Homo-oligomer: A and B are copies of this chain.
Amino acid sequence: MNAAPLLAYINKYISLTEDETELLLSKIVYRKYLKNQYIVQQGDVCRHEGFITSGCTKMFYIDANGQEHIVMFSIEDWWVSDMGSFITQTPADYHIQCIENTELIQFSYETIEGLYLEIPKLERFFRKIVERSIVAFQKRIVRNFSLSAKERYLVFKKNYPNIEQRIPQYMIASYLGITKEFLSKIKSQLILEQ
């Protein structure tokens, strides 16, 4: 496990000095989770923000009927946390569970708050990545309204070509907001078409 991917990622948005890099590295905590392990559970307070160096997670919500709705997947070079819970330090709305064995770099709430004070530039970094993420969520909302299930699936495949093979189909269906049966029908229809 090493922090190179995180540093590379941060340096796409801001430039850290040597001292700042060192300080950041000194706060780093590595953490390994096994497939199916929970990183956060609905109802618990999310105490960490994690940067994935390998593996894959899903964040999902269990509704009143016990059905699971996947809000997002995260893979290498992306963040995991229930942001709502993390920023307010109140109980989480979502579960976060590993789909594969997952390694990540974890920052506790206190560590991050400390780092913001010691390296104010990090505020800029996180602002920028959250901004990007908002743009993606907005697009998703629009797609869910304006596209059919089939079209949404095709967009998903195009946007995340490398993720599809790593994730069971029923989770993709949940992410797309349809049933696993219907996704299966869409796929067989797509095969017939060509």
Using a CB–CB cutoff of 8 Å, the interface residues on chain A facing chain B are 61, 63-64, 67, 69, 71-72, 83-84, 87, 93-94, 116, 120, 123-124, 126-128, 130-135, 137-142, 144-146, 177
Question: Least Cβ distance of A130 to chain B in Å?
Answer: 4
Q: Which residues of B contact A124 (CB under 8 A)?
A: 116, 120, 123, 127
Given contacts A116-B124, A124-B116, contact A146 B61 (CB under 8 A): yes
Residues of B within 8 A of A139 (CB): 84, 93
Across-interface contacts of A144 in B (CB, < 8 A): 141, 144-145, 177
21 A-B contact pairs sorted by A residue (CB < 8 Å) = A61-B142, A69-B142, A71-B141, A71-B142, A83-B131, A83-B134, A83-B135, A84-B135, A84-B138, A84-B139, A120-B120, A123-B123, A126-B127, A127-B127, A130-B131, A130-B134, A134-B134, A134-B137, A137-B137, A144-B144, A144-B145
Query: Within the assembled complex, what's the spacing in Å between the Cα atoms of A142 and B72?
Result: 10
Excluding A120-B120, A133-B134, 18 further A-B contacts by CB distance (< 8 Å) are: A61-B142, A69-B142, A69-B145, A71-B141, A71-B142, A72-B138, A83-B131, A87-B135, A93-B139, A94-B138, A126-B127, A127-B130, A130-B130, A130-B131, A130-B134, A134-B137, A137-B141, A140-B141
A138→B46 CA distance, assembly (Å):
16
Q: Which residues of B contact A141 (CB under 8 A)?
A: 71, 137, 140-141, 144
- Closest Cβ–Cβ distance, residue A131 to chain B (whole Å): 5
Docked complex Cα distance between A126 and B127 (Å): 7
Q: Shortest CB–CB separation between residue A177 and chain B, in angstroms?
A: 4
Instruction: Give the complex CA separation of A83 and B128 in angstroms.
Output: 11
Which residue on B lies nearest to A127, using beta carbons?
B127
CA distance A145 to B174 in the complex (A): 9
Contact at B87–A128, with CB atoms within 8 Å? Answer: yes
